[in-house]
Structure 1
Amino acid sequence: MQPLLYDIIDRHHLHNMLETFYQCINLPIQILNEKGEILDSFGQTHAYCRIFKKFLPVNESCMKLHANASKLAMSLGEAYIFSCHSNLNHIVFPLSNNNILLGSILAGPFMMDQPDSLTLSNLGKKYSIPTTSLLEMYEEADTLPMFEPARVTYISRLLYYMCSGLVTDGRNQFVLNHNKFLQQSEINESIQTYKASANINNKGYPYDKEKALITKLKTGDTESSKELLNDLLGYVFFAEGSNLEIVKTRSLELCSLLSRAAIEGGATSDSVLKINNQFLRSLQSINTLDDLCYQLQESVEVFTQCMFNYIPTKNNEIIKEAIRYISQTFAGNLTLEDVASHVHLNPAYFSTLFKQSTGSSFKEYLNMVRIEESKRLLINPEYSIIDVAMAVGFMDQSYFSKVFKKYTGLTPKQYR
């Protein structure tokens, strides 16, 4: 009976691909099924492995280890570099369809540093390997492929470029898993930061980061928005634990906050309403924290996009780049000429184009960005009003107060 993997991917295509890899890299490579059994291979089993396998317990088989490594690689969403029972390195790339593991591609074994007699000695104690066999392994270790860590990274990337398109659905799931893994890493880092803070209970909810999230969203800085969102989610997990229903409630509050920010940033109420409805519908079927966090992160990206959809397609990228540049440099002595030069346009033409595309003049938009950032800084009582004014690009406190009141209806002191 033909393996399921070959029902999805052409056997000859895989065979030729592996042969090409082996001839170019000179590193043994295998195709495994979902159980870790070898379906095809290039390169001989190394003598080092042949000696070691004689002493490997049945319940610690290479096949079992490779299958488990393949599953982990699929969950991580990336090629996985790991060490086997005998301390040799391998790279495994999962082949999946609709989040079902069909098999994997395994490259190795190889070493990333010189053989260590102490490591082999410890290996001998763990698996009761006699001295004569250890000496043979030590001699054979010198003939194993040796790659510097940097080159291993490139080989790992090469496997990704070769294999990620083999199964379209698998690639989509692979990318999704990878993105979820990265997001959860950021959230976990945030949780650890809050845990390490001695005064966390006195600080309460980080409203300053919530306001910073709004500012970044309005200025089209998607990546910074995602980072701040994950930081806030980290706080929610730290303060509330892993209760899915409580986190759903907090997510609805965050979605509502993002909705208001998107509308204030120029998105139409209809588009925001559609995003909200979609999020609410998806919330009903979500049953894991990973999926919930990722859905909220995707909403940030969609909210940002809908704020800039009104920009004419012809000038979309130019204006987006100008807005990104403003969001990065607003605190300095930024001028219309500076931004026009950055996007390689004549200042007068850029001024007209910016007004037509955003509905605001350059000066109005710059002031809006500065005021949004000043709101976040004013929360901190350690900063004086003049400090806040200068930090966001206003060199005159009275002018700052005048502009602030124009945009908010309050003076900086009243807002604080």
Structure 2
Amino acid sequence: MVDRNLVDLQYLEDVLDNFSKATGLHVAIVNKKGESFGIFDTAERCGFCRYIRSKPSGVAKCRASYKQATQEASKWEEPYFFRCRAGLVIWAVPISLRGISLGSIICSQVLLWKPDRFFYQELRELNPEVDDFTEMEKKAGQLDIISPVRFQAAADVLYVTVNQLMKRDLLVLENVETYKMQQRIHKELENRKLKPLSAAKEGDDYGAYLHSERSFLRYIRLGDKSRAEKNLHTLLTQLFVKSSGDQAMIKLRISELATLASRAAVEGGAVAETVMVLLDKFNEKINDCQRMEEFFFHMQHLVTVFLNRSVSLEDKKHGGLVNEAKNFILESYSRSIKIDDVAAQLFISPSHLSRLFRQELNCTVNDYITRVRVEQAVELMKKPELSVAQVSQAVGFQSQSYFAKVFSKHIGVAPLIYRNSLS
């Protein structure tokens, strides 16, 4: 369902109620699964739709049409017109906030032309579950017919209205989150004052900042949303302290970090073209920013969108299981774990887990385990006291030669060469 904390749903329903009364069109709010939860009494479902929905699979057919329309409207970020699976003309207006799709507004139950012999023939083909075609054709003949110009105008009006509502809610949300950012930084600075001077200085050098940066980018590549966002908070505070609040310096470093994060997101599975568009929009926004908190807010937003684009686990059917599997792997990579161990932890079969990983992450379980181990190995290689053999063992490889082969494949150079490049 659309999040009531993000959208003033009551106000949206009032707007749609008035729109429905003015146009006589049926309007519904649906979530990304195509499930309706905002249908208004002023324009109830037409007789044709009620008849189709009363048949076996009729509601499922309707929901599938809504889901497809919502996906397409969100993809193109504009009203999407199509014919539903029962044969009627439908359009969907996307509802999105901060680059995240929340659902859509569906407007339907009309025709753009007078029904003819070919239309009725197609209706029969689209609705084979209907046993009384005479009744279905009778109800279809009672549908309202409106001109394409009027249909497009109604879609444009609703699209503009919804966008203005989203912008209003986004402004409120940004102000709240900017304030929270100020409070976090203030609290972190107060905590630093309580630390011994030597410890505070040690945490404020660029070495500590770069270490946090590497961890942050690694979490983005792995699609670890909670750790990436938590690490970003620490990173931004370190940046503020190290720059002494110099806004020009903060803006420069934020731009660099955004570029690095965009590349990590692509490596994590996000579409490169989409990421570059988001990065360009981000750079445009921070050019207009005047306060340090605004820089940080937009950076947090960008990271959230990147992570949603690369994994979107919360929006997928089996995201919970895959997320549990990922967390188990992140905690257990140093041991000799295999897909059977991960599946046993979740009480599902290895074959089912394998299918979920391919569906949700487009990789195998072993691929993900290997990716985690290599990422961790890169971090450990920065510790001169550890030999390559020790690093290999620490990240779960039983064979140093196999570790060298896998490391070279993912990083591009042998472990020893990479180690020497750090000195």
Aligned to 2:232: 229
Once the two structures are TM-superposed, the CA of residue 206 in structure 1 deviates from its matched residue by 3.9
The structure 2 residue matched to 1:248, chosen from 248, 251, 257, is 251
Change (3 A) 1:380 1:391: same
1:107-166 Cα shifts (integer Å, max 9, x gaps): xxxxxxxxxxxxxxxxxxxxxxxxxxxxxxxxxxxxxxxxxxxxxxxxxxxxxxxxxxxx
1:239-277 Cα shifts (integer Å, max 9, x gaps): 321111110010000001101100011100122123212
- 1:351 maps to amino acid: S
Which moved further from structure 2: 322-331 or 359-368? 322-331
Aligned to 1:177: 179
Change (3 A) 1:203 1:247: closer
Are the aligned partners of 1:330 and 1:369 in contact in 2 as well (CA < 8 Å)? yes
Alpha-carbon distance in 1 for matches of 2:383, 2:191: 24
Aligned to 1:196: 198
Aligned to 1:301: 304
Aligned to 2:393: 390
The structure 2 residue matched to 1:320, chosen from 314, 318, 323, is 323
Whether 1:355 and 2:336 are equivalent positions in the alignment is: no
Alpha-carbon distance in 1 for matches of 2:261, 2:195: 24
Which moved further from structure 2: 200-209 or 317-326? 200-209
Alpha-carbon distance in 1 for matches of 2:170, 2:213: 37
1:57-80 Cα shifts (integer Å, max 9, x gaps): xxxxxxxxxxxxxxxxxxxxxxxx
Whether 1:215 and 2:218 are equivalent positions in the alignment is: yes
Tell me the percent identity. 26
Change (3 A) 1:286 1:351: same
Aligned to 2:267: 264
- 1:281 maps to amino acid: E
Alpha-carbon distance in 2 for matches of 1:310, 1:227: 18
SS in 1 for 2:318: helix
Are the aligned partners of 2:388 and 2:415 in contact in 1 as well (CA < 8 Å)? yes
Which moved further from structure 2: 260-269 or 393-402? 393-402
Change (3 A) 1:323 1:307: same
1:313-343 Cα shifts (integer Å, max 9, x gaps): 3233332332233223322332212322333
Alignment: residue pair count: 250
Once the two structures are TM-superposed, the CA of residue 213 in structure 1 deviates from its matched residue by 1.3
Aligned to 1:282: 285
Which moved further from structure 2: 167-176 or 210-219? 167-176
Once the two structures are TM-superposed, the CA of residue 352 in structure 1 deviates from its matched residue by 2.5
Once the two structures are TM-superposed, the CA of residue 370 in structure 1 deviates from its matched residue by 0.8
Once the two structures are TM-superposed, the CA of residue 186 in structure 1 deviates from its matched residue by 4.2
- 1:215 maps to amino acid: R
The structure 1 residue matched to 2:379, chosen from 343, 354, 376, is 376
Aligned to 1:119: none
Are the aligned partners of 2:218 and 2:375 in contact in 1 as well (CA < 8 Å)? yes
Once the two structures are TM-superposed, the CA of residue 397 in structure 1 deviates from its matched residue by 2.0
- 1:388 maps to amino acid: V
Alpha-carbon distance in 1 for matches of 2:223, 2:195: 27
- 1:406 maps to amino acid: K
The structure 2 residue matched to 1:341, chosen from 323, 344, 348, is 344
Alpha-carbon distance in 2 for matches of 1:168, 1:378: 43
Once the two structures are TM-superposed, the CA of residue 183 in structure 1 deviates from its matched residue by 5.3
Once the two structures are TM-superposed, the CA of residue 221 in structure 1 deviates from its matched residue by 2.0
Change (3 A) 1:245 1:171: closer
SS in 2 for 1:393: coil
SS in 1 for 2:407: helix
1:162-220 Cα shifts (integer Å, max 9, x gaps): xxxxx999788556633552355347657987963466798646433322112111222
Are the aligned partners of 2:178 and 2:294 in contact in 1 as well (CA < 8 Å)? no
- TM-score, normalization by structure 1: 0.53
Change (3 A) 1:185 1:208: same
Once the two structures are TM-superposed, the CA of residue 395 in structure 1 deviates from its matched residue by 2.9
Whether 1:405 and 2:408 are equivalent positions in the alignment is: yes
Once the two structures are TM-superposed, the CA of residue 366 in structure 1 deviates from its matched residue by 0.7
Once the two structures are TM-superposed, the CA of residue 360 in structure 1 deviates from its matched residue by 1.6
Alpha-carbon distance in 2 for matches of 1:373, 1:349: 27
Are the aligned partners of 1:188 and 1:234 in contact in 2 as well (CA < 8 Å)? no
- 1:279 maps to amino acid: F
Are the aligned partners of 1:191 and 1:238 in contact in 2 as well (CA < 8 Å)? no
Once the two structures are TM-superposed, the CA of residue 363 in structure 1 deviates from its matched residue by 1.0
Aligned to 1:93: none
Alpha-carbon distance in 2 for matches of 1:315, 1:295: 30
Once the two structures are TM-superposed, the CA of residue 344 in structure 1 deviates from its matched residue by 3.4
Alpha-carbon distance in 1 for matches of 2:314, 2:291: 36
Once the two structures are TM-superposed, the CA of residue 290 in structure 1 deviates from its matched residue by 1.8
Which moved further from structure 2: 381-390 or 176-185? 176-185
Whether 1:365 and 2:368 are equivalent positions in the alignment is: yes
Structure 2 unaligned spans of 5+: 1-168
Once the two structures are TM-superposed, the CA of residue 358 in structure 1 deviates from its matched residue by 1.9
- 1:254 maps to amino acid: L
Structure 1 unaligned spans of 5+: 1-166
Aligned to 1:46: none
SS in 1 for 2:341: helix
Change (3 A) 1:388 1:200: same
